[in-house]
Amino acid sequence: MKRFTAFLTYLLYRSVESAARLLPMTLCWYLGAAAGTLASWLLPSYRHLARRNLTIAFARDLSTTQINQLTRKHFKTLGGNLLCSLKMPWIPVEKLKNHLTIEGVENVELAFKAGRGFIYALLHMGNWEVLSQVVVSKGTSGGAMYQPLTNPFLDAHVLRCRQRTGCRLFNRHDGFNGPVRWLRNNGGVGILVDQHAGDAGQWSPLFGRLASTTNLAALLSRKTGAPILPVSVVTDAPGHWRMIISPKLDAPPDIELATAALNVALESNIRSSPHDWFWVHNRWKTPNPEFLLAKYRRGITLPPSMPPDSLQPFHILVRSPNWLGDACMAVPAVRALKRGRPDARVTILAPEKIAAVWRMVPDVDEVIPFPKNASILAVSKLLKKAGHPWDSGILLPNSLRSALEMKLAGVLRIVGYKGHWRRKLLHQIIPPRKKVGPVEHHSRFYLRIAWRLGANVEDPSLHDPVLPPPEPSSPLTLGLCAGAEYGPAKRWPLDRFAEAARAVASKLPCHWLIFGAPAEKNMGAQLASLIGTSAENLAGQTTLDELAARLRQCRLLLTNDTGTMHFAQLLGTPVIAIFGSTEPAATGPLSPASTVVRRHVECSPCFRRTCPIDFRCMLEIPADTVADTVLAKLGSA
């Protein structure tokens, strides 16, 4: 059945080709132009792709109206040139000069005299099929590398048409030995160098944006010494084209730098006649699955004169977790995303209550906060209002809501775990960890997303504090957080906190700062009265920025397993964390400067909000043990 469908497609192609052969060239071009204009409306996905590509290339130079006009002109020109390309193989070679002007023949002759062959760096530009239909200079032998078509009937026909003037064709699947021998015999080889090269390509900028680029031209030039001649075809008038052969590329011997230099030359050619290039090809395609480029074999190479900060940004939108502790544990993953490619611009979408956390992270370029009661539609409007083309969106929460926010905002690649009822909204699903082996820390849950996208997640500096260490405070200031919004099962008793704090204060003159959420203000006051004059209650009285400033004054923080514990660790404040119903291997502090105090009873961890029995996991931790741990930590510091 597949072969039959291929044959029907071939017959349709030959029918259109036969009709084109009967028409005058100018009329053929105008009919094709009309078909191209019609196609732009019948195929909206290609129209949108062309407009997006033109925006990438010319947003700094052209207005939106001008880009829309250029899009329409491109489809018109493309249609005219494609229909004429069907007619070109049937025109006698001597009559082609009526439709084609060639500039730069002297550049081919100079290369031919050098005796090392020459490489045409070709573009899908104008009526590019004409490149195989002409002999540029007498005495030279032309050739080209080609990618076979999947339709065998069409492939055989197109090969016959391209070979009618003696053009030697080399199948890419057959390797490079043939082209190398041809070049060493002083022949010419054409290579199309303007297509997305996939995972095997080198990442170099085109119009300032990183694009996967074939290094084949530079590789063959290095092997044979053949110069590279950039070639373009522009439409001068309906049914008439001009082939421009540029002087040899002044490129360094390094293959990577030569490939980057070739992109610069190609960009210049495209700018000379932008409507002629093939904008409906996804040239700046986002790789799948690893669109972060740290692991790619050929890596990233920029022209020496181009600083990394001049690259067009690759916009990564990250939806933050909703809770303070989870957001802090997600910071290493966001850092890994940022470091995954030099053009990454990371924007965090976060609830207003925790937006300040992300503003403290140097790797974050922008934070978009949204209010507590904002609807999904309101959040998506915020994202559209930001004015960025979101190349990728990373969902750290598992919620359906977070996926809908990005979907409605038009994010091009939405990535995350399958989550809750949202599989069909995701473009890329991160497989979960197999539940074998030891307990995994929750920060690894987020890091796995970055790892699946190509980031290096084993760099220890991903876990470094977000701010430099402060100067030691005087008098000695210690922090205490006795609350936990999750529930009472995570709270060590207040009287034990007070007893431990008094014991420390009796050995070392110190000032205790009590932290907590707004709902814990009264609890903080009660604890302050139990400790005495050495305590100050700040529970519910600080913004996140103020909390950060006060935590950085503290030599350490004595705390339950709570968001403030993770926030302190993020700021670089050592933590002594008391664990009961939860598992420190999963959510405990990771810093070697921090300590976990725990009584591992048979029912722990239960992860309950309230203890259904006797709360033994917390009650079996005596106050003097905690006080001794604090004093030992201060003594070692």
- What would you report as the CA-atom Rg of the chain, rounded to the nearest whole angstrom? 33
Residue 464 DSSP code:
S
Place of tokens 């349709």: 12
Task: Tell me: pLDDT of 437 over 80.
Answer: no
Q: Give me the residues paired with residue 169 across strands.
A: 144
- Any long-range contacts for 300-303 (C-beta under 8 Å, 24+ apart)? 300/202, 300/203, 300/204, 300/210, 300/341, 300/342, 301/202, 301/203, 301/204, 301/256, 301/257, 301/259, 301/260, 302/204, 302/205, 302/260, 303/204, 303/205, 303/257, 303/260, 303/261, 303/264
Whole-angstrom CA distances from 322 to 354, 399, 433 are 8, 10, 22
Q: Would you mind telling me the total number of residues written for the chain in this entry? A: 637
Can you give the pTM of this predicted structure?
Answer: 0.93
Find the Cα–Cα–Cα–Cα dihedral 543, 545, 549, 550, rounded to 10°. Answer: 20
* pLDDT given at position 94: 82
What secondary structure, in 3-state letters, does 256-314 show?
A: HHHHHHHHHHHHHHHHHCHHHECCCCCCCCCCCCCCCCCCCCCCECCCCCCCHHHCCCE
Burial of 20-44, coded b for 16+ CB within 10 Å and e otherwise, reads: beebebeebbbbbbebbbebbeeee
Distance CA 78, CA 72 (A): 10
Count other Cβ atoms within 10 Å, centred on residue 201.
Answer: 20
Residue written as tokens 């949202």? 422
Exposure of 563 in the CB half-sphere (CA atoms within 13 A): 20
Residue 295 pLDDT class (50, 70, 90 cuts): confident
Q: Which of 154-158, 237-241, 376-380, 568-572 has the lowest mean pLDDT?
A: 154-158
pLDDT, residue 212, reads 96
Would you tell me the crossing angle of helices 2-22 and 152-162 to the nearest 10 degrees?
40
Mean pLDDT of 351-356: 97
480 closest CA partner among 626, 350, 584, 281: 626
- First vs last Cα of the chain: how many Å apart? 77
Q: Which tens digit of pLDDT belongs to each residue from 220-250?
A: 999 999 999 999 999 999 999 999 999 999 8
Helical ranges in 164-235 per DSSP H:
177-184, 216-224
Kindly report, residue by residue over 158-203, the tens digit of the pLDDT: 898 888 878 889 998 888 899 999 999 999 999 999 999 998 899 9
* pLDDT given at position 163: 86
If pLDDT is split at 50, 70 and 90, which confidence band does 421 have? Answer: very high
CB-based burial, 394-431: b 16+ in 10 Å, e otherwise:
bbbbebeebbbbbbbbebebbbbbebeebeebbbbbbe
Residue, of 176 and 526, whose pLDDT is higher: 526
Peptide bond into 289 cis (omega under 30): yes
pLDDT digits (tens, 9 = 90+) for 98-132: 999 999 999 999 999 999 999 999 999 999 988 88
Average pLDDT, the chain: 94
* pLDDT, mean of residues 509-516: 96
* pLDDT the model gives residue 129: 87
Residue 97, C-beta contacts closer than 8 angstroms, at least 6 positions apart: none
Give residue-wise pLDDT tens across range 56-82.
Answer: 999 999 999 999 999 999 999 999 999
Looking at residue 475, what is its pLDDT?
Answer: 85
Q: Is the pLDDT of residue 636 over 80?
A: no
Confidence category of residue 93, pLDDT binned at 50, 70, 90:
confident
Dist. CA 367–CA 348, nearest whole Å: 5
Amino acid 34: pLDDT: 97
CA distance 609 to 611: 7
Question: Does pLDDT of 637 surpass 80?
Answer: no
Give residue 571's pLDDT: 96
Nearest to 514 by CA among 500, 496, 526: 526
Residue 105's closest CA among 245, 227, 291? 245
Q: Which residues have CB under 8 Å from 413's CB, separation 6+?
A: 286, 288, 291, 391, 392, 393, 427, 428
d(CA 335, CA 340): 9
Task: Catalogue the E-assigned strands of 160-227.
Answer: 168-171, 188-192, 202-206, 209-213
Cα gap 444→442, rounded to integer Å: 5
Q: pLDDT at position 298, please?
A: 85
Backbone φ and ψ for 621, nearest 5 degrees, come out as -100, 105
What is the rounded CA–CA span in Å between residue 136 and residue 190?
Answer: 12
Longest distance between any two alpha carbons in the chain, whole Å: 104
User: What confidence tens digit (pLDDT) does each residue in 527-557 have?
Assistant: 999 999 889 999 999 999 999 999 999 999 9
Cβ count near 230 (within 10 Å): 25
- Tell me: pLDDT of 487 over 90: no
- Give the separation between CA 314 and CA 203, rounded to whole angstroms: 13
Catalogue all structural domains in the chain, each as residue range(s) with its CATH number.
2-90 (no CATH), 93-276 (no CATH), 313-463 (3.40.50.2000), 477-636 (3.40.50.2000)
Q: Return the bridge partners of 416, or none.
A: 429
Residue 595 to residue 575: CA distance in whole angstroms:
6
List CB contacts of 339: < 8 A, sequence separation 6 or more: 294, 363, 455, 456, 459
Q: Which of 37, 60, 61 is nearest to 50 (CA)?
A: 37
* 412 has a pLDDT exceeding 60: yes
For residue 210, list its beta bridge partners. 205
pLDDT value of residue 486: 85
Reported confidence tier of residue 359, pLDDT bands at 50, 70, 90 = very high
